[in-house]
Amino acid sequence: MARRTFIAGNWKMNLGPQAADRLAMDLKAALAGQTAVDVAVAPVAVSIPGVVARLKHTGIHVAGQDLAVEASGAFTGEVAGEMLREAGCTWVIVGHSERRSLFGEDDALINRKVHAAFRAGLLPILCVGETLAQRDAGQVEQVLERQLSAGLAGLQADQLAAMTLAYEPVWAIGTGRTATPDQAQEAHAFIRGWLRKTAPAFVADQLRIQYGGSVKPANAASLLRQPDVDGALVGGASLKAADFVKIIEAAPHMAA
């Protein structure tokens, strides 16, 4: 079945409220009337309310970059999924490689965050992917299977079908290196095949798998043309409206 392309921009720890509002304003103008592709942006937490207000009625969704497991309490510095939802988010990124490598998040914690997202009424974008050492050791499928099995544990089939997975080879994030279209397709096909073996058939047909890892206007079209690549989780290139719009326009539904 045809899956709608989903392009999400992860702004990471960039763009305070004023700069985020300017970028949101540029995206609002550039993407007016665009309905062929699902689009989301993930600002830093303090910029979310302003971006939500700026993008109201545009069809561009707003996502959180992370969430706490707990709904409230004495957890200084954390932001609950319920708070993100109240602020206007509809999606939240979970298990980004930077959360895994820099903040020590393991698969068990990431699974708890996936469940917390659904509890809060948010749809998770769960990130999975291997390091360069793991790829060189021939462990790509082993790593992906471990991350998927643990990260998706305990979810219902309808939850799985509604969420998004993002395959992000760690060695390609922020390095300028990008997985070739064939490498991306191979990993995405493995993920979809794993879903077919572990969940009802409709899950693998409906769940969207984004590619993340130095996606740019120059390589977006070749990546998005792959049959199991359903979109992109864009980092640095999402910080410039012109570049992000070009990536969206490279989607097959837009280019047709």
Catalytic residues: 96, 168
Per DSSP, 80 falls in state B
User: CA 21 to CA 5: how far, in whole Å?
Assistant: 25
Nearest CA among 38, 36, 59 for reference residue 254 = 36
Q: Are 190 and 228 in contact (CB under 8 A)?
A: no
User: CA 56 to CA 150: how far, in whole Å?
Assistant: 35
User: CA 228 to CA 119: how far, in whole Å?
Assistant: 28
Q: Are 236 and 11 in contact (CB under 8 A)?
A: no
